[in-house]
Amino acid sequence: MSKQFYDSLETRAPAEREAQLMAALPAQVAHAQQATAAFREILAGVDARGIGSREALARLPVTRKHELQERQKAQRPVDPFGGFSALVRGPAMPHIFASPGPIYEPEGGTRDYWRCGRALFAAGFRAGDLVHNCFSYHMTPGAFIFESAAHAIGCTVFPAGVGQTEQQLEAITALRPVAYTGTPSFLRILVEKAVEAGADITSIRKGMVGGEAFPPSLRDWFLERGMEVYQSYATADLGLIAYETSARQGMVVDEGVIVEIVRPGTGDVVAPGEVGEVVVTTLNPGYPLIRFGTGDLSALLPGEDPTGRTNMRIKGWLGRADQTTKIRGMFVHPGQVADITRRFPEIVKARLVVSGEMANDVMTLKVEARATPQGLDARIGEAVRDVTKLRADIQLVQPGSLPNDGKVIEDARSYK
């Protein structure tokens, strides 16, 4: 490791990185088909040798988290992982974790299994640092994700967990850790309680937070108190997806994943800069997820990170992609809106807006159209009834007039 970068992968020429990722992709698809029952079924009939480009990858189905959970539920107790894991119990699988749902996730036995060491290094963590780890050690993987990352860098970890604020402050004043990992809200609690108790926790100068929103106002609040705190974007399924750098201009994508941004409810890749769902293909052989829909919204940022890291960047977390809404007693989901738009080559983009008061719903489909032949609105209305079994007003609008926020369904009802 150099002093500035975690490894040489971060500064590869973009074309070199893309070539290496695409070269690795066919083997990973083939491995997923051969080593996991789930992808043997999901990717049945797919010739992995032909999946060597982003265009080819985009033709594969997206597997979303709720589908993974449904497969797990259907296969318990035969296989708690629903056929997605290529790991076997024993040294190759030191832990099993449970995330809300519940969804069960295996941990592989490799060093820094979730690859979050890269994120901690970008946040200024270095060998010899003592890290006060306040993620939960109970059932969920958060604490282990960041502990293993800290160990990969060469840090020592105090497994503080959550709660017991007085004991935490006592440990901080005694051990003088220089770094914090945990939720941003708990770090704020520690800072405020330290002021009340007269405890000196100024040894903590840097941090990596996750698990909840981290607004710029809170980031600046920590900065005013001498703490450089960064955030990463990681999940138990995929490991590290993206991370902040000192430039604080979006988040740099990790070197071990292929990220796409797709229109919610579909697998269709959106234009650069447009908000959509984050879909990730991981090169992890133990849990080889192919086109896994995270349910999170983000968008690609143009250009490279000012720190010299050359991978693509995303804006960070911009909301949730699952916008399924109950309208007049019927569930309508983004995939249905996508089904409607696919029927009409004139449609550029569509947004279903639900307004009115509860029990008196008004459904309006706003449509950006590149052309408006006579009767288009009526034909779209018929398609809406066919797909959703509900009636909607059709509003044709100019291309580019709908907001770029990733919303396919907007619930604008009054709940008073």
Confidence band of 77 (pLDDT split at 50, 70, 90) = confident
pLDDT at 2 over 50: no
Q: Does the pLDDT of residue 316 top 90, yes or no?
A: no
- The pLDDT-based confidence of 320 (bands split at 50, 70, 90) is confident
Decide if pLDDT at 333 tops 90: no
H helix or E strand, kind and range, residue 367: strand 360-369
Encode pLDDT of 203-241 as tens digits: 999 999 998 888 899 999 999 999 999 999 999 999 999
Residue pair 148/131 in contact (Cβ under 8 Å)? The answer is no
For the segment 95-116, the average pLDDT, to the nearest whole number, is 93
Mean per-residue pLDDT for 83-107? 94
Model confidence at 358: pLDDT above 60: no
What confidence tens digit (pLDDT) does each residue in 364-381 have? 999 999 988 999 999 999
pLDDT digits (tens, 9 = 90+) for 53-74: 999 999 999 999 889 999 999 9
Q: Using an 8 Å Cβ cutoff, are 263 and 279 in contact?
A: no
Which range is least confidently modeled, 23-32, 82-91, 116-125, 338-347?
338-347
Cis, bond preceding 77 (omega within 30 deg of 0): yes
Whether residue 1 has pLDDT greater than 70: no
Is the pLDDT score of 322 beyond 80?
no
Q: What is the pLDDT of residue 30?
A: 98
What is the chain's Cα-based Rg?
A: 23
The whole-angstrom separation of Cα 190 and Cα 173 is 12
Q: What's the whole-number mean pLDDT along residues 200-205?
A: 97
SS3 (DSSP) at 166: helix
What is the distance of C-alpha 335 from the center of its chain? Answer: 19
The pTM for the full model equals: 0.85
Do the beta carbons of residue 133 and residue 117 sit within 8 Å? Answer: no
Among residues 82, 50, 49, 80, the alpha carbon closest in space to that of 64 is found at 82
CB atoms inside a 10 Å sphere around CB 120: 29
Model confidence at 317: pLDDT above 90: no
Q: What is the pLDDT of residue 212?
A: 83
Has residue 75 got a pLDDT over 70?
yes
Question: Is the predicted pLDDT of residue 359 greater than 70, yes or no?
Answer: no
Judge if the upstream peptide bond of residue 373 is cis by omega within 30 degrees of 0: no
Task: Determine what percent of the chain is predicted with pLDDT higher than 70.
Answer: 98
Q: What is the band of 415 on the pLDDT scale with cuts at 50, 70, 90? A: low
* Contact by Cβ (8 Å): 351, 408: yes
Q: What is the mean pLDDT of the chain?
A: 93
Q: Per-residue DSSP letters for 168-213?
A: HHHHHHHH--SEEEE-HHHHHHHHHHHHHHT---TT--EEEE-SS-
Enumerate domains of the chain plus CATH numbers.
Answer: 10-85+255-320 (3.40.50.12780), 110-236 (3.40.50.12780), 325-411 (3.30.300.30)
The amino acid that residue 272 corresponds to is: P
Euclidean distance between CA atoms 229 and 219, whole angstroms: 6
Answer yes or no: is pLDDT of 355 > 80: yes
pLDDT tens string 266-277: 899 999 999 999
Quick one: tokens of 268? 């269709």
